[in-house]
């Protein structure tokens, strides 16, 4: 029981890191790109997909069809916070980082699970 408390404490002490991740369907090559203010929440995303409750219906349908082993989840980039800048806005910086990855990967149509914004 003591080991469990120790592991829980270690988990809580891990720094919260924001970033961009992708879920890639290795069967059809489609990718789902998303930002998060806490990369630890990726486990929660896996949980929702495994329990058929993910908000993105097309991704969920493919997860159900192909199975979890057909997908890889990868952290693309972590957000480097600028602690020296008193005006640093994490949310804005994360949005810019996400836009960079959308531009790079173009996860639309047959290449991804997103619809292109006009």
- For position 100, which CATH number holds? 3.40.1440.10
- How many structural domains are present in the chain? 1
Please indicate, yes or no, if residue 36 is contained in any of the structural domains: yes
Please indicate, yes or no, if residue 5 is contained in any of the structural domains: no
| 77: containing domain | 14-108
Please indicate, yes or no, if residue 6 is contained in any of the structural domains: no
Please indicate, yes or no, if residue 4 is contained in any of the structural domains: no
Please indicate, yes or no, if residue 117 is contained in any of the structural domains: no
Nearest partner of 73 among 26, 7, 8, judged by Cα:
26
Q: Which residue has the tokens 């789902």?
A: 32
The residues facing 75 across adjacent strands are 21
Distance, CA of 17 to CA of 34 (rounded, Å): 14
Please indicate, yes or no, if residue 21 is contained in any of the structural domains: yes
Distance, CA of 73 to CA of 44 (rounded, Å): 12
| Tens digits of pLDDT across the chain (118 residues) | 688 888 777 766 677 899 999 999 999 999 999 999 999 899 999 999 999 999 999 999 999 999 999 999 999 999 988 777 788 888 999 999 999 999 999 999 999 999 987 5
Please indicate, yes or no, if residue 114 is contained in any of the structural domains: no
Distance, CA of 15 to CA of 8 (rounded, Å): 14
Query: By three-state DSSP, how is residue 32 classified?
Result: strand
Q: Which residue has the tokens 């640093």?
A: 88
Distance, CA of 46 to CA of 20 (rounded, Å): 15
């Amino acid at each position: 029981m003591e080991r469990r408390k120790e592991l829980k404490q270690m988990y809580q002490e891990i720094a919260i890191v924001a970033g961009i991740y992708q879920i890639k369907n290795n069967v059809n090559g489609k990718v789902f790109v998303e930002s998060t203010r806490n990369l630890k929440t990726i486990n929660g995303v896996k949980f929702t997909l495994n329990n058929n409750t993910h908000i993105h219906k097309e991704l969920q349908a493919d997860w159900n069809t192909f199975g979890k082993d057909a997908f890889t989840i990868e952290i693309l980039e972590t957000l480097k916070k600028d602690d020296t800048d008193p005006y640093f806005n994490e949310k804005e910086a994360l949005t810019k980082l996400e836009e960079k990855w959308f531009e790079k990967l173009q996860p639309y149509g047959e290449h991804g699970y997103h619809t292109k914004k006009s």
